[in-house]
Amino acid sequence: MKSTVDGYDAQMRAVEDAKVLIELADEAKDEATAVEADGTLKAAEAAVAKMEFARMLSGPYDRNGALVSINAGAGGTESQDWAEMLLRMYVRWAERKGYKVEELDRQGGDEAGIKSATIGVEGEWAYGWLRAEAGVHRLVRISPYDAQARRHTSFASVFIYPDIDETIKVEIDEKDLRIDVMRSGGAGGQHVNKTESAVRITHIPTGIAVHSDGERSQHKNRSTAMRILRSKLFEVEQKKQEEKMGNIHAQKKAIEWGSQIRSYVLAPYRQVTDHRTGIKVGNADAVLDGDLDQFMEAMLLELAGDPTAKEGQGGAAVTTPAPDDM
């Protein structure tokens, strides 16, 4: 606490010093003093940005890695393709941050895309950043799967859990688990998996079910499934302690109209709109390629209680206003 207060006081003093230097530079027409004032202000701005970052990511598990689970909504191939687009978006975002990404589970779509997938994102602050992305994501585009080239709306949900290490105890009674093994999906021919290596674990009291088939070893898949289950159960217990059930459970709305946190419109215009913070970005391609920090920062500032979180965020021009029904 002392460090926080001292840091704030130091930057206030730096701003006051810069004011004095600016006045001196103006009176004496001294360019060197003006340059010094500019440097002082830039250093203070950088320090304040770090303080803001620390305030946004101050949760007890924000430094942890994260598990990202993506599930396609109703809509068949369209939504399954959208779920895979979201998966790629988060993988690209993680790569930009220098985080390590591990695919823990993947359920392929019937014709294209994925029905669901879970990835592990390893790196400092991964959960702190990604927790702002939990919710339903909506896509509007001209369908590549529609012979008549009609516009379609698709939904997919994103769930974010802290990746809990072995030092944090989560009590799981083996009697509460139903463990099923099955043959993993995959390519046919000589590459087909002929052994029952995929594992599905259901926690009977909560109904939470997890699946893993990323490894050829049943033992490794079981270990991965337990890792995912532990994180999900831990998050449930954390949210039970809050006055409301929290952001994770608020996500459990129907994956359909009216429940989305963000819309990605690719036709008839191109725009990404975050419905929680009001940020609108015209460069939808950049967002789908992992340029997500502006959305995350605005949402984290809002969660941290900043009343100006919706103001001045994003920095990208909106090329076309969204119609009323968007």
| Region for residue 198 given its phi and psi (left: phi exceeds 0; alpha: psi -120 to 50; beta: otherwise) | beta
Burial 275-287 (b: 16+ CB within 10 A, else e): ebbebbbbebeeb
Q: Which of 65-74, 83-92, 168-177, 262-271 has the lowest mean pLDDT?
A: 168-177
Q: How many whole angstroms separate alpha carbon 204 and alpha carbon 173? A: 10
Q: Which neighbouring-strand residues pair with 163?
A: none
For the full predicted model, state whether its pTM sits above 0.75.
no
Beta strands in the chain (DSSP E): 66-72, 100-108, 114-122, 135-142, 151-162, 177-182, 198-203, 208-212, 260-265, 271-274, 280-281
Shared domain check, 147 and 12: no
Residues 227 and 250 in one domain: no
Is 312 within the bounds of a domain?
A: no
- Give me 78's structure tokens: 């369209």
- Asked which of 63-72, 121-130, 159-168 is least confident by mean pLDDT, the reply is 159-168
pLDDT above 90 as % of the chain: 47
pLDDT tens string 197-236: 888 889 988 888 888 887 778 888 888 888 888 888 887 7
Assess whether 222 and 273 both reside in one domain. Answer: no
Report the number of distinct structural domains present in the chain: 3
**What does the pLDDT read at residue 255?**
52
Same domain, 84 and 230: no
How much is the average pLDDT of 165-186? 77
Residues 187 and 46 in one domain: no
pLDDT at 74: 81
Regarding whether 220 and 190 lie in a shared domain, the answer is yes
d(CA 46, CA 37): 14
Comparing 87 with 56, which gets the higher pLDDT? 87
242-283 pLDDT, tens per residue? 544 344 444 444 555 557 999 999 999 999 999 999 999 999
Reported as a pLDDT band with limits 50, 70 and 90, residue 187 is very low
Residue among 208, 187, 277, 218 nearest 67 (CA): 208
Q: How confident is the model at residue 167 (pLDDT cuts 50, 70, 90)?
A: low
d(CA 105, CA 221): 9
Same domain, 105 and 208: no
Say if residue 144 is in the same domain as residue 255: yes
Burial 201-215 (b: 16+ CB within 10 A, else e): bbbeeeeeebbbbbb
Token pair for 290: 């992992």
| Domain residue limits at 17 | 2-56
